[in-house]
Amino acid sequence: MPEGVSVLKGKDMQHIETIDNAFIMVQDDLIVDFGPMSVCPKNNFTVYDHQGKWLMPGFVDSHTHAVFATARHQEFVMRIQGKTYVEIANEGGGILNSAKKLREMDEELLYQKALVHINNAIACGTAVMEIKSGYGLSTEAELKILRVIKRLKNTVPIKILSTFLGAHAIPTEYKENRGAYIDLIINDMLPQIAKEKLADFMDVFCDFGFFTPQETDVLLKAAEQYGIKAKIHGNELGISGGVQVAVKNNALSVDHLEHIGQEEIECLLSSETIPVALPGSSFFLKIPYTPCRQMIDAGLPVAIASDFNPGSSPHYNLWFTWSLACLYNGLLPNEGFNALTINAAKALGLEKEYGSITKGKKAAFITTRAFESINEMPYWFGVNHCIENRN
């Protein structure tokens, strides 16, 4: 892809450039040149032969909650038996259940558990992963998660970004006094997080039963004081106003959007905010899928991500996310590829470093066997096609 392309919108989302029999030259972990073998410069670089394989940019997972204490398989069974996600949450399950377990777990074990998941995701081709806090919901526990993410940044071979999601739910002890919890986030959590430089972004779950658009606005403005940019969970449970508050605050992305109307589409069209669909959570919770076809046809860019978390999307295999997006969000395979690479990088502000094979970008690649067509990749659903990854 040529330099300067930062996002693909509307019809352009179908665009993929391929080169048969190609070379890529890498120096100091950056792509310095690429093209057909016929013009490959002669030099004494070390040669890695990938003949007969495909090479593509590593995936960008722009939305995960990869640091958590335990799985929530009991809720999985409750949902099979007929309870809804919202009912379980209202009975103290859901996010509050994860927060209870996380508060009891020490930092070292949390780190070790997340490391296992991240290494599995890397094996599936993830080259960049954003990780949110939000299962702590107290100053101590939120800081614990963010410190684990900081340690992961320094120890795993891929790029990690951290998002502060203290506003994921109102914790039980503040149930009758939500204003006090919002004050705690603004006056206690944020200053410490900013001081220790623990968050690249701030997220709020702006949805029915969680945080209102007004509360979200106040929280995002507080984060902005520290130069922390917004990413929003919005419109998962209904038309919540999440899109409007995200756009108003110039958020990098607004994620979920299972419920979205013409007004929200118009609002996104007037902005730089990237809509991110999370087909894994629609699949797992059996809720509507984000209408990406309609959004792309209206001229929007779309990114997709795993939403890896123990409650609504216990998966990190972005090949599967790609298949789901094609089958249920209406993306064409080419659009799914761009939604997982360049547009996902844009949703993290990393479009100059990741998301395509472009001179000057990071040499983070996936190699696979050769396919008849790119359409075949998401067709084999649930399969990890990676043969070898370079991060």
* Minimum distance, C-beta of residue 201 to Fe ion, in the bound complex (Å): 13
Evaluate whether 133 touches 162 at the Cβ level (below 8 Å): yes
- Nearer Cβ to Fe ion (206/295): 206
* Minimum distance, C-beta of residue 281 to Fe ion, in the bound complex (Å): 7
Site for Fe ion in 293-312 (CB under 5 A): 307
Binding residue for ligand NIG (CB under 6 A) from 307, 337, 340, 362?
307
Applying CB under 6 A, does 133 fall inside the site for ligand NIG? no
* Minimum distance, C-beta of residue 130 to ligand NIG, in the bound complex (Å): 12
Site for Fe ion in 119-148 (CB under 5 A): none
Which span sits near ligand NIG by CB under 6 A: 50-58, 137-145, 310-318, 362-370? 310-318
Measured distance CA(183)–CA(207) in Å, rounded = 19
Measured distance CA(385)–CA(374) in Å, rounded = 12
Evaluate whether 61 touches 308 at the Cβ level (below 8 Å): yes
Give Cβ neighbours of residue 171 (< 8 Å, ≥ 6 apart). Answer: 96, 99, 137, 138, 181
- Nearer Cβ to Fe ion (1/128): 128
> What letter does residue 8 receive in the DSSP assignment?
-
Binding residue for ligand NIG (CB under 6 A) from 57, 94, 301, 378?
94
Q: Residue 373, SS3? A: coil
Site for Fe ion in 307-366 (CB under 5 A): 307
Task: List residues bridging with 230 in a β-sheet.
Answer: 202
Applying CB under 6 A, does 205 fall inside the site for ligand NIG? yes
Binding residue for ligand NIG (CB under 6 A) from 130, 203, 217, 236?
236
Most distant CA atoms of the chain, gap in Å: 70
Measured distance CA(23)–CA(36) in Å, rounded = 6
- Nearer Cβ to ligand NIG (13/146): 146
Measured distance CA(40)–CA(43) in Å, rounded = 9
Strands 229-234 and 126-132: unpaired
3-state per-residue secondary structure call for 107-123: HHHHHHHHHHHHHHHHH
Applying CB under 6 A, does 281 fall inside the site for ligand NIG? yes
Applying CB under 6 A, does 200 fall inside the site for ligand NIG? no
- Residue sitting closest to ligand NIG (CB): 311
Task: List residues bridging with 272 in a β-sheet.
Answer: none
* Minimum distance, C-beta of residue 65 to ligand NIG, in the bound complex (Å): 6
Binding residue for ligand NIG (CB under 6 A) from 126, 162, 271, 309?
309
* Minimum distance, C-beta of residue 225 to ligand NIG, in the bound complex (Å): 25
Packing angle, helices 94-104 and 139-155, rounded to 10: 80
Contact residues: ligand NIG, CB under 6 A: 94-95, 98, 205, 233, 236, 281, 307, 309-313
Contact residues: Fe ion, CB under 5 A: 307
